[in-house]
Structures are given as C-alpha cells and as structure tokens.
Amino acid sequence: MIKLTARQQQILDLIKEAIENTGFPPTRAEIATELGFRSANAAEEHLQALARKGAIELSPGMSRGIRLRSSDTLASSQSGRQLVLPHPALMQLNLPLVGRVAAGSPILAQEHIEASYQVDPALFSAKPDYLLKVRGMSMRDAGILEGDLLAVKKSATARNGQIVVARLGDDVTVKRYRKTGSAIELIPENPDFQTLHVTTGETGFALEGLVVGLLRSWH
C-alpha cells in the first residue's frame, strides 16, 4: 500500500485532473501556480517524492514528463478493495494508424491508413478513435516528439487548454487550443514555432479531434 502525505495526494489529484481534462500532465510551473508554491522547484521536490513512492514516473528533460503509474491499483490499495479486471485480450482496442493526410480528404480515408494496432484502452484519458503519427517538433515541450503516435478521439469541439488535431487548409496540425470569442489560437509548445490564428467558421479550418494519449517506440 502506498501512503501519501496530504500534499502529495493533492498533487497527484491535480495531475490526474489535468490528464483527464487535456490529455496531458501539468508542467512544474503550472503545479506551482495552482498550489501556491513560490517556485517550480518546490513542485519538483514533491514530484520526486511521488516518483520514489511509485505513484508516478518522471521523464528527465521534459516539462510535462509525468506519467501515472498503476492508478487503479493505487486507488484500490488505498481503499482496501481488490480490483478484478477482465482478461487483457478482451480489453484491446484496434486503432487505425493515420500517416500523411491528403488535402481535402477525410482524415480516416482508407488511403491514409498505414497500419492498425491493438492497444490497451487503459493507457488513455478517453477512448480514442485512431492513432496519428507526429511529424515535426512544434509540441516538443509538451512531450510530443517526431515519430510519436498520438491517440485521438474524434471531436468537432474542444475546451481551452486541450491539445487538438486541427485541419488548416492542406495541412493537419497538432496544437494547444484556445478560443476567445470567435478568435481561435492554435498554440505550439516550442518557442521556435509561432501561434496560428484562425476564426470560427473560417474556410479550410476544422477540428478533427482531441489528443487523449501518446505511444512511443523506444526501439
């Protein structure tokens, strides 16, 4: 059984909430701001303690390099319940992998499908509909790198702060979404890239889905 202090539990709950709402964990600075710490270093100390206790995993060098570990097991151990899961083979999702998307055609058109993968739905904050191969490094500081596979849930709407897949004319891009009135900003997480500005109903712009998780090959 993992015993957490009240502050550690508060931070763990904040991480879970951020992943549920946006698909990605918060940065150290965001944790510090939310909980009133004087600096991101204070947040880092608590994260290191959570990692030592096995509640999370940390990826060095990534501002959002936080991953929950065995969240269901943690919850069940703290409440004293035994968790019974169905056979793993019954829990797999079969997701198509989308590669390059041709201009003007649906993102899930057959000619865009490179392969399909059997994946565990427990890996994601919501049930995805497809995987999208990342091209470029515009979301590097969100922990999204060239060649990663993003799990995407089809959606034509998004909340501010969520990471989305959007169509802009002939391109499909992954950015953080922010809307004010009719103005929409598609924000990169890499200072080498510029924010994209569009308006609601603009020709050639459409939301394709929400990013709900990420898969990475370590080979």
Catalytic residue ranges: 138, 175
Alpha-carbon gap, residue 55 to 49, rounded angstroms: 9
Instruction: Provide the edge-to-edge strand list for the sheet that holds 93-98.
Output: 113-119, 93-98, 130-133, 149-154, 205-215, 163-168, 171-180, 183-187, 196-199
- For residue 46, the SS3 value is helix
**Beta strands 93-98 and 130-133: pairing type?**
parallel
Instruction: Give the phi and the psi of residue 169 in degrees, each rounded to 5.
Output: 60, -115
Instruction: Give the phi and the psi of residue 22 in degrees, each rounded to 5.
Output: -120, -10
Contacts of 182 (CB under 8 A, 6+ apart): 199, 200, 201
Binning the chain into helix, strand and coil, the percentages to the nearest 5 are 25, 30, 45
Tell me the C-alpha to C-alpha distance, in Å, between residue 63 and each of 164, 178, 185.
19, 20, 21
Contacts of 70 (CB under 8 A, 6+ apart): 54
